[in-house]
Amino acid sequence: MSTATYDVTGMTCQHCVNSVKEEVGRITGVSAVDVDLESGRVTVTSESPLDDAQVRDAVEEAGYELKA
């Protein structure tokens, strides 16, 4: 298992959290997505290390951005 943490900007409510969880959770190999609204941190657990570009695309699809 692999775990990675990302900082996401623009989330302000539970709907935001759910959108990010849903989009990131669609990435092949992802087994869990934990979103902390207060800190903007998204922790992703997957079968193997993820390509950061895939995570960035999923977060952007949800309407938010990864901090650089």
pLDDT reported for residue 48: 95
Q: Describe the crossing of helices 14-25 and 52-62 by its angle, rounded to 10 degrees.
A: 140
pTM, two decimals, is 0.93
pLDDT reported for residue 56: 97
pLDDT reported for residue 32: 98
The Cβ of residue 7 has, within 10 Å, a number of other Cβ atoms equal to 12
pLDDT reported for residue 21: 98
Domains and CATH numbers, the chain: 2-66 (3.30.70.100)
pLDDT in tens, 4-52: 999 999 999 999 999 999 999 999 999 999 999 999 999 999 999 999 9
